[in-house]
Copies of this chain bind each other. A is one copy, B any other.
Amino acid sequence: MVTAQHRKIDYKRELETASKGMIMIHDPKLLIKLIVRMIVSKVMIKHAGMILYEPDKDAYILSISRGETGFKVPAGFARFSKNHSIIKLFTEKEYRALTINKNAILVQDLNRLIWQESVLNNKNGNQQLLHDVGEQMQMFNAVAGVPAYYQDKLLAVLLLGEKHDGFGFDQQELDFFAALASDVAMAIRNAQLFMDLKKEADKNHDLFIRTMVVLSQAIEVKDKYTHGHTKRVTDIAVLVARQMALNESADFEEEFYENLYIASMLHDIGKIGVPEEVLNKNGTLTKEEYQIVQLHPRHGVEILSPLSELKESLDGVKYHHERYDGKGYPEGLSGEGIPIIAAIISVADAFDAMITDRSYRPGMTKAQAVEEVKRNAGTQFHPVPVKALVELYEKGRL
């Protein structure tokens, strides 16, 4: 008996310690898996499972069952409505009285309880419910069900299979499992809430990015020549940046790629302010018309000013027509004074323009365009993104 007692204390301490770290695990499925596995191995029972309340579904879900044999869960039986006999047993006042002494329901007690209800209390409803619970427990191969409450609300029911040694659960153990089940249920709710919030953050981020895409395509509606240009420039720019990291000429944070993506998508947004007759003109622009076109980077930044915290992206929009030799616009920045995000877009933008057919000239081949970009490295273009572009072309990735 001393050994058994010792083992009991051991597993309690281990489970208690383990349950402490639970709230740091934010994947509900992983969490349930770990906990059930731990109970099965430490307590030496054949299997265990947990029925957990899920508020979005307003129902209880048998989250996992695991062990030597596993519960037999017929399809469609993993979801428990509030009217399910096991749930009612632990939620409705009238029935809770039947379980409250032990902090649990034991299959071995069911017949005695049914007898009590019929002989002492003469309650048919209670007998029926207890009978149903018995059938359910048998179906799940469980010998005990331990409820977990938080603020008097049933959060979960821990289902325990038989012990390997064949002994039943004593009251001390049941009390311990009641406390454990409550910790576990809260940790799982916590993880579920985390996942919900994470999903919401991701969803909002995704909406933001897709709104950016819509915004970027709004310009293409107006500018006949740029059809698909924005998307291609974006793809090329991101490829070039990744290649720069790969050949170790740059070391970008992951955030940089998103900023570059946004900047590339929006680099020509300012063209929305250029009159259609200028934008779609067949032939050379007059000096005045060219001056109007040159306003588009500044104009883009103005349009995007409500998003001023996207500073790096706005730099990309503003400076994508600067030249390495300082002869670009709008500010005549040069060399390393040009933000690298803009230098990358500049190369991608020019490359795509070269290979695209225009009404007044056919597009170059990619080979020709790569040569042309190379020829202008150090004058028009920053040499580092040019090097990456050339490498990409040589690897057949353009």
A 146-157 binary contact with B (CB < 8 Å = 1; else 0)? 000011000000
Within the complex, what minimum Cβ distance (angstroms) separates A289 from chain B? Answer: 15
A 255-279 binary contact with B (CB < 8 Å = 1; else 0)? 0000000000000010011011000
Contact call A189/B276, Cβ cutoff below 8 A: no
Q: Given contacts A204-B205, A205-B204, is CB(A307)–CB(B214) below 8 Å?
A: yes
Question: Considering the chains assembled together, what is the distance between the CA atoms of A183 and B183 in angstroms?
Answer: 12
A 6-27 binary contact with B (CB < 8 Å = 1; else 0)? 0000000000000011011010
A193 contacts chain B at the CB level, 8 A cutoff? yes
Closest to A276 in B: B276
Question: Which one of A48-56, A217-225, A245-253 is at the interface?
Answer: A217-225
Question: Considering the chains assembled together, what is the distance between the CA atoms of A172 and B194 in angstroms?
Answer: 35
Please provide the chain A residues from 327 to 360 with a CB less than 8 Å away from any CB of chain B in the complex.
none
A92 contacts chain B at the CB level, 8 A cutoff? no
Cβ contact of A197, chosen from B198, B273, B276, cutoff 8 A:
B198
Question: Considering the chains assembled together, what is the distance between the CA atoms of A20 and B197 in angstroms?
Answer: 22
Question: Considering the chains assembled together, what is the distance between the CA atoms of A276 and B278 in angstroms?
Answer: 12
A 50-69 binary contact with B (CB < 8 Å = 1; else 0)? 00000000000000000000
Taking CB atoms, residues of chain B closer than 8 Å to A303 are 214, 217-218, 221
A208 contacts chain B at the CB level, 8 A cutoff? yes
Within the complex, what minimum Cβ distance (angstroms) separates A216 from chain B? Answer: 10
Q: In which size bucket is the chain A interface?
A: 35 or more
Taking CB atoms, residues of chain B closer than 8 Å to A204 are 201, 204-205, 207-208
A87 contacts chain B at the CB level, 8 A cutoff? no
Question: Considering the chains assembled together, what is the distance between the CA atoms of A212 and B218 in angstroms?
Answer: 12
A186 contacts chain B at the CB level, 8 A cutoff? yes
Contact call A197/B208, Cβ cutoff below 8 A: no
Within the complex, what minimum Cβ distance (angstroms) separates A122 from chain B? Answer: 38
Taking CB atoms, residues of chain B closer than 8 Å to A218 are 215, 218-219, 269, 272, 303
Taking CB atoms, residues of chain B closer than 8 Å to A227 are none
Taking CB atoms, residues of chain B closer than 8 Å to A207 are 204-205, 208, 307
Cβ contact of A210, chosen from B189, B205, B307, cutoff 8 A:
B307
A306 contacts chain B at the CB level, 8 A cutoff? yes
Most buried by B among A198, A201, A273: A201
Taking CB atoms, residues of chain B closer than 8 Å to A190 are 23-24, 190
Taking CB atoms, residues of chain B closer than 8 Å to A214 are 215, 303-304, 306-307
A121 contacts chain B at the CB level, 8 A cutoff? no
* Interface CB pairs A-B, < 8 A, 23: A20-B186, A23-B23, A24-B150, A24-B190, A190-B190, A193-B194, A197-B198, A204-B207, A204-B208, A207-B208, A211-B211, A211-B212, A211-B215, A214-B215, A214-B303, A214-B306, A215-B215, A215-B218, A218-B219, A221-B303, A222-B272, A275-B276, A276-B276
Given contacts A204-B207, A210-B306, 5 further A-B contacts (CB under 8 A): A20-B186, A197-B198, A218-B303, A221-B272, A275-B276
